[in-house]
Amino acid sequence: MLKSIIENSENYQPGLSIDCVIFGFHDNQLKVLLIKVPHSETWSLPGGFIPIDQDIDTAAVTVLNERTGVEGVFLRQFSTFGKIKRNDNHFGKEVLKYLGIDPEKGKWLTRRFVTIGYYALVDFSKILPNPLNRNEIVEWIDHKEVPELILDHREILDKALDTLRVELNLMPIGYNLLPEKFTIPELQKLYETILDKKLDRRNFLRKITNIGILTKLDEKKSNVAHKAPNLYSFDKEKYDEVLKNGLYQGW
Amino acid sequence: MLKSIIENSENYQPGLSIDCVIFGFHDNQLKVLLIKVPHSETWSLPGGFIPIDQDIDTAAVTVLNERTGVEGVFLRQFSTFGKIKRNDNHFGKEVLKYLGIDPEKGKWLTRRFVTIGYYALVDFSKILPNPLNRNEIVEWIDHKEVPELILDHREILDKALDTLRVELNLMPIGYNLLPEKFTIPELQKLYETILDKKLDRRNFLRKITNIGILTKLDEKKSNVAHKAPNLYSFDKEKYDEVLKNGLYQGW
């Protein structure tokens, strides 16, 4: 696919790419979708280029869909990364040769690239990591055990995580990361995992209830030994309203 | 200058620009630095291109310095704008001809541009709007009375303002917008102007004091009829600490 892009590089915005940090929540871990670089121990964020006839936001949706197969998920631009040497020597002559790319055409790829970072929150249970070909390895990896990443992808991931932590104070998060029905302890665990700290149970319950986005269901969690906790779902209408207007009234 | 950039376009990142929303506070107004488009009733944000050998953040600092003559001010990237048609037909053949630019070389300028938005907070009193040539008109304009802007600059300005309002909840703001010594009512007025709403005097005093970034000076505001209010300054060390760690502890 990279080859076909380069051979038709006039159809893409030059020197500009997109990288997506895709977060999922599973087993009390905040996981990130990563792609293994062939014949290397390093990994990369899923990314892509920007078709000349697509808005950058649309191009980001395309990258996300390609990799996760889901549509309509939470996806936000968070920062653009443009240090001069960020992709220096990344695609050397050997790599182009390996990919079977004409060195003259390959120049498009070897020039300086600025990349726009997007982050996505997806429901882990609905997504099967999607390799673009059978040699590609795509995996969910705990954000605390991320292996070595190419280029400045570590910086991009860290910045996405910082943004997520800040935005937790500004808007409700959870709708996109949890299954439809969940318990308060599960929601609290999500917050604790993202913030990487323990929260007081009663304080959390009070704060999250005050937002007014939860619906208590007439159902209890099954498969639980005793004192089964209540199940909740998000009131999507109220959730969207809070998402739009912001959580924190502040000043 | 545009001409020289285009004639040396290989020295610049293609299809990528920078636009700066420069905010200043004066006469109880939040003002924006704008440039008049020659022979037109429209205005634009100060902007520029990205030298191939400069980080995008450095290029943004250059744009800001050129226009304001000040260094070391508060400058942050906030969003990248990349709708496909955003600069369609902006530089037509007539404009290139008017600028004396060879149409072949001018192609660099007429292609699709994605732009990275930065916003700056500057001390109004220290800045003299700086026209790059004597035909250029550069002015501080109240953000509530901004005239028609070119391209998507209105959208960029609105987004910068939204960001500023959100960030008011996350970090201290004022150091860059106020003179060294100020009164609490002046600081409150700054917050009210940015948020576009009245704040309760006592609540504001309590909240702003709790942050712990203010130093009460042994000085009163002069030229005030009676009950002269106390002067304050920011404790720069504490201010920077809060700026770094974030204001709102949240969850």
**pLDDT at residue B207 above 60?**
yes
Shared-domain flag, residues A158 and A202: no
Task: Give the count of beta carbons closer than 10 Å to the beta carbon of residue A174.
Answer: 21
**Following CA atoms B197, B200, B203, B208 in sequence, which dihedral angle do they give, to the nearest 10 degrees?**
50
Question: Which tokens go with B122?
Answer: 């500057």
How confident is residue B249, by pLDDT bands cut at 50, 70 and 90? low
Shared-domain flag, residues A161 and A199: no
Shared-domain flag, residues A156 and A208: no
Question: Which tokens go with B83?
Answer: 């709708």
* CATH number of the structural domain spanning residue A214: 1.10.10.10
Shared-domain flag, residues A7 and A118: yes
Can you give the pLDDT at residue A124? Answer: 85
**pLDDT at residue B37 above 70?**
yes
Q: To the nearest whole angstrom, how far is the Cα of A83 from the nearest Cα of chain B?
A: 4
* Strand B114-122 relative to strand B12-26, pairing: parallel
In a domain, A177, yes or no: no
In a domain, B62, yes or no: yes
Residue B211, chain A, CB below 8 Å: the answer is no
Dihedral sign, Cα of residue A31, residue A208, residue A168, residue A172 = positive
Q: Which helix (H) or strand (E) holds B204?
A: helix B201-211
Q: What is the ipTM of this complex?
A: 0.90
* Whole-angstrom distance, CA of residue A175 vs CA of residue A238: 12
Dihedral sign, Cα of residue B196, residue B162, residue B24, residue B37 = negative
B16·A52 Cβ contact <8 A:
no
Query: Domain boundary at A167, A201, A231, which?
Result: A167
Which residue from A minimizes the CA distance to B170? A166
Can you give the pLDDT at residue B182? Answer: 93
In a domain, B176, yes or no: no
Can you give the pLDDT at residue B2? Answer: 82
Shared-domain flag, residues B112 and B221: no
**What is the per-residue pLDDT across B50-64, written as a single tens digit (0 to 9) for each?**
999 999 999 999 999
Shared-domain flag, residues B13 and B118: yes
Q: How many domains does chain A have?
A: 2
Residue B116, chain A, CB below 8 Å: the answer is yes
Shared-domain flag, residues A26 and A77: yes
Can you give the pLDDT at residue A205? Answer: 92
How confident is residue B224, by pLDDT bands cut at 50, 70 and 90? low
Can you give the pLDDT at residue A251? Answer: 64
Matching residue, tokens 């996350």: B170
- Please list, in sequence order, all residues whose beta carbon lies within 8 angstroms of the beta carbon of residue A161, skipping any fewer than 6 positions away: A21, A143
**Amino acid at position A222, single letter:** S
In a domain, A48, yes or no: yes
Task: Give the count of beta carbons closer than 10 Å to the beta carbon of residue A217.
Answer: 13
Residue B83, chain A, CB below 8 Å: the answer is yes
A251·B191 Cβ contact <8 A:
yes
* Whole-angstrom distance, CA of residue A247 vs CA of residue B250: 11
**Amino acid at position B240, single letter:** D
Domain range for residue B93? 2-167
Total CB pairs under 8 A between chain A and B = 85
* Whole-angstrom distance, CA of residue A59 vs CA of residue B82: 10
**pLDDT at residue B174 above 90?**
no
Shared-domain flag, residues B226 and B155: no
Shared-domain flag, residues A148 and A36: yes
Residue B78, chain A, CB below 8 Å: the answer is no
Which of A19, A63, A80, A109 to probe by mutation at the B interface, max B CB count within 10 Å? A80
**pLDDT at residue B124 above 90?**
no
Q: To the nearest whole angstrom, how far is the Cα of A135 from the nearest Cα of chain B?
A: 33
Shared-domain flag, residues B140 and B194: no
In a domain, A143, yes or no: yes
In a domain, B172, yes or no: no
Can you give the pLDDT at residue B115? Answer: 98
Which chain B residues in 8-67 lie under 8 Å from chain A, judged by CB atoms? Answer: 13-16, 50, 52-57
Query: Domain boundary at A123, A139, A167, which?
Result: A167
The answer to which of A202-211, A230-239, B101-110, B166-175 has the lowest mean pLDDT is B166-175
How confident is residue B159, by pLDDT bands cut at 50, 70 and 90? very high
Shared-domain flag, residues B83 and B206: no
Burial class (CB in 10 A: 0-12, 13-18, 19+), B37: middle
Query: Domain boundary at B134, B167, B200, which?
Result: B167
Residue B128, chain A, CB below 8 Å: the answer is no
Shared-domain flag, residues A125 and A232: no
**Following CA atoms B176, B178, B183, B189 in sequence, which dihedral angle do they give, to the nearest 10 degrees?**
-100
Burial class (CB in 10 A: 0-12, 13-18, 19+), B164: buried
* CATH number of the structural domain spanning residue A26: 3.90.79.10
Q: Which long-range contacts (CB under 8 A, 24 or more apart) does A200-207 make?
A: A204/B251, A207/B251
- Please list, in sequence order, all residues whose beta carbon lies within 8 angstroms of the beta carbon of residue A206, skipping any fewer than 6 positions away: none
In a domain, A178, yes or no: no
Q: Say if residues B75 and B120 touch (Cβ distance below 8 Å).
A: yes
Considering only CB atoms, which chain A residues are within 8 Å of B79? Answer: 77
* Strand B230-234 relative to strand A230-234, pairing: unpaired
Q: To the nearest whole angstrom, how far is the Cα of A11 from the nearest Cα of chain B?
A: 11
pLDDT along chain A (251 residues), means of 10: 87 96 93 90 95 97 86 89 91 80 86 96 81 82 96 97 86 86 93 90 91 90 75 91 72 64
**pLDDT at residue B221 above 70?**
yes
Can you give the pLDDT at residue A175? Answer: 85
**Amino acid at position B116, single letter:** I
Mean pLDDT score across all residues of chain B = 89
- CA neighbours within 13 Å on the CB side: how many for A92? 2
**Amino acid at position A80, single letter:** T
Considering only CB atoms, which chain B residues are within 8 Å of A12? Answer: none
Can you give the pLDDT at residue B106? Answer: 86
In a domain, B68, yes or no: yes
Residue B206, chain A, CB below 8 Å: the answer is no
